[in-house]
Structure 1
Amino acid sequence: MTTPYPEGSVNAYLLLGNPVTLIDTGIWLDDSVRQIHQALMNVGLDWKDIDQIVVTHMHTDHTGGVHAIQREVDAPIFVHSGARFALQGGMAEFERVNAYFQDFFRACGAEGKVTRNHKYREQKWAGVHYVDDGDVIRAGSRDYQVLYVPGHSQTDICLWNEEAGDAFVGDHLLKDISANAFMEPPSPAQADRLKALLQYRSSMARTRALAFRTVYPGHGSPYVGHQSLIDARFQEHEERCEAILQHVQDGLSTIYEISSAMFPWLQGGAVFLGLSEIMGHMDLLVERSVVKVESNQGVLVYTAQS
């Protein structure tokens, strides 16, 4: 389906058989929902023929069509258990998330320089089934293992049928786009900041060891060769770390300063993308003891290790 986002189109997949399963739902725009309906009609089906929906992660370009589709068909939804807070937390959760991002911008040295203009939209999904790593979902006459692969988001799952090798991966492994490891708040039960890029690298190392054959991504065409793709992503991380380290050695010390130097074209809310990218790689450099970090009145200050 077409989207207004820089990555262009977003994919949804229809698995025929028993049960008929829709994987992801596109964005909230009417055109996106109409495109899904047209694809159903192209194979002789209608909304009523969808038995269930699986959401690969809680980003709006993959969940936006849920409300419209559930007005047409009473289909249960399978989503990772980490989505429970967003789906059940209401306004209190929305305010908690907003407060986290204000703290995040301050930690980056970007307080007053970037805003997050999200409006509260109540999520009312019917028939939600929360899944976790190792669960099995029957879809399109096959059993798919749920793989929890946090990093790009905290709700990312893959569906993998080991016999056929088919893997529906959402945005976990994109061939034509290097997916961002977005900073997100921890769950209400967690206190420590999540280190999204370190999570993402661990998730990729895990899926690299699995016998995926055909990979069905959330954006772009299906492909084979996920191991070489993951190797390329790891190499990109090394190159990004080298570039960031050079900026630190040149005297830049905050996430915002380095992001502005490396991504000067990012403006408005898009600045958050750069902050996430730099923060993730800083976590990697700190873990490797290449740089050290201290807090100065809530702002993280980075220096190169001698």
Structure 2
Amino acid sequence: MKVINKDISQITIPTPFAVGDTHVYLLKGDKLSLVDAGVKTKEAWEALTSQLKQLNYSPNDIEQIILTHHHPDHIGLIEEFPRVKSIVGHRYINPFLIRDEGFIDNYIEFFKTCFHVNGVPESFQSEMEKERKAFDYFGRGELTEFIDQGQNLPGHEDWSVIETKGHAQSHLSFLREQDGMFIGGDHLLQHISPNPLIEPPYEGQNDRSKSLLQFRSNLIKCKEASIRTVLPGHGPVFSNVDEVVEHQLSRQEQRADKVYQYLKKESASPYQICKQLFPKQYEKQIGLTMSETIGQLDYLENEGLIEKDLVNGQYVYETK
């Protein structure tokens, strides 16, 4: 637990995921709000309640929950606060909270189809069904208010909402311009590079969003904003925003160049490229590694350096 200033405190919560601990933030204003809600485990709840107690609060004192995005380490405990009447976030979070079965079925089916067309062997298809179990870590509930770019946080009118899609299509961050405080969720991290995850099209969309391109654009947006201090979802609080953004962009470009150099030698499917990029990780983390690979291919294609062709129902990429 860390008191950031008189109206913001950071609470650190364990997760069962490789990313490690996650941070949530207690925000004082016209309402007492919790920004994000950890993962749905006993250990997370014990850590959260213990640190609230150190701050002289209890779960009964929380009036509102504000969500940066829909991932399970950020929305897991939303139903544990008896006085919460307001849960706010991007509208794309809602299907995950209400456990819309049709949405979940389509979500799983999208990845099965996506992986097939990108060359992933059938032996990995069962991994997609395991994704249903990830929903066990999600809290159940429903957003009471949708927020988006250009609005202010309810109960905290000095905080503005900034769209930061990329890591998730539901991702929002929050900036207080008067002192440059930035609650960044998983968009802006100092110690690791967030993985811009591919997701199915949402209602009203025909195609999946190109998450890595969104992520890059929104990183640059952060350079142009008046951010002085980043309060992240993982890792240390930091202030060297320009340096971190440049490092993230450079690291991504280096990985894209590795893909480009490989394709200069031979054409390949995304799965074949994934194995080259992540030889030790791809079998155990096929979803994450394929998201990263497809993102790099989206980037190179957008730069006009490569093109793809559909061969026997599967994509093959080559340089132009």
| Aligned-partner Cα distance in 2 for 1:264–1:127 | 40
Q: Residue deviations 1:38-74, cap 9 Å, x none? A: 111111111111111111100001111112x23x333
Q: Residue deviations 1:52-104, cap 9 Å, x none? A: 1111100001111112x23x333411111222343457111111111110111
**How many residues in Structure 1 have an aligned counterpart in Structure 2?**
302
| Aligned-partner Cα distance in 2 for 1:234–1:136 | 29
Contact in 2 for aligned 1:197/1:284 (Cα 8 Å): yes
| Aligned-partner Cα distance in 2 for 1:268–1:304 | 26
Mapped pair 1:2 → 2:14? yes
SS in 2 for 1:155: coil
Contact in 2 for aligned 1:252/1:258 (Cα 8 Å): no
Map residues 1-306 of structure 1 onto 2, 5 A cutoff.
1-67=13-79, 69-70=80-81, 72-88=82-98, 90-114=100-124, 115-116=127-128, 117-119=130-132, 121=135, 124-126=140-142, 128-139=144-155, 143-268=158-283, 270-305=285-320
1:135 partner amino acid? Q
Q: Unaligned regions of 5+ residues in structure 1, if any?
A: none
Contact in 1 for aligned 2:97/2:142 (Cα 8 Å): no
| Aligned-partner Cα distance in 2 for 1:138–1:85 | 22
- 1:269 deviates by 5.2
- Range with bigger deviation, 8-17 or 52-61: 8-17
| Residue of structure 1 in register with 2:8 after alignment | none
Contact in 2 for aligned 1:75/1:127 (Cα 8 Å): no
| Aligned-partner Cα distance in 1 for 2:265–2:309 | 18
| Aligned-partner Cα distance in 2 for 1:207–1:16 | 24
| Aligned-partner Cα distance in 2 for 1:185–1:264 | 26
- 1:187 deviates by 0.6
- CA 1:88 to 1:25, structure 2 compared with 1: closer, same or farther past 3 Å? closer
- 1:4 deviates by 2.0
- CA 1:187 to 1:244, structure 2 compared with 1: closer, same or farther past 3 Å? same
- Range with bigger deviation, 157-166 or 268-277: 268-277
TM-score, with structure 1 as normaliser: 0.93
Q: Residue deviations 1:131-190, cap 9 Å, x none? A: 111110145x66210111110000110011111110000000010010001000111321
2:151 partner amino acid? D
Contact in 2 for aligned 1:293/1:302 (Cα 8 Å): yes
Contact in 1 for aligned 2:223/2:245 (Cα 8 Å): yes
| Aligned-partner Cα distance in 1 for 2:305–2:223 | 26
Contact in 2 for aligned 1:7/1:177 (Cα 8 Å): no
Q: Unaligned regions of 5+ residues in structure 2, if any?
A: 1-12
Contact in 1 for aligned 2:99/2:140 (Cα 8 Å): no
RMSD, aligned α-carbons: 1.8
TM-score, with structure 2 as normaliser: 0.89
| Aligned-partner Cα distance in 1 for 2:94–2:141 | 11
| Aligned-partner Cα distance in 1 for 2:267–2:85 | 52
Task: List structure 1 segments (4+ residues) > 4 angstroms apart after TM superposition.
Answer: 120-123
- CA 1:224 to 1:84, structure 2 compared with 1: closer, same or farther past 3 Å? same
Contact in 1 for aligned 2:40/2:139 (Cα 8 Å): no
| Aligned-partner Cα distance in 2 for 1:192–1:206 | 24
The answer to which structure, 1 or 2, has the higher relative contact order (CA under 8 A, 6+ apart) is 1
Contact in 1 for aligned 2:23/2:38 (Cα 8 Å): yes
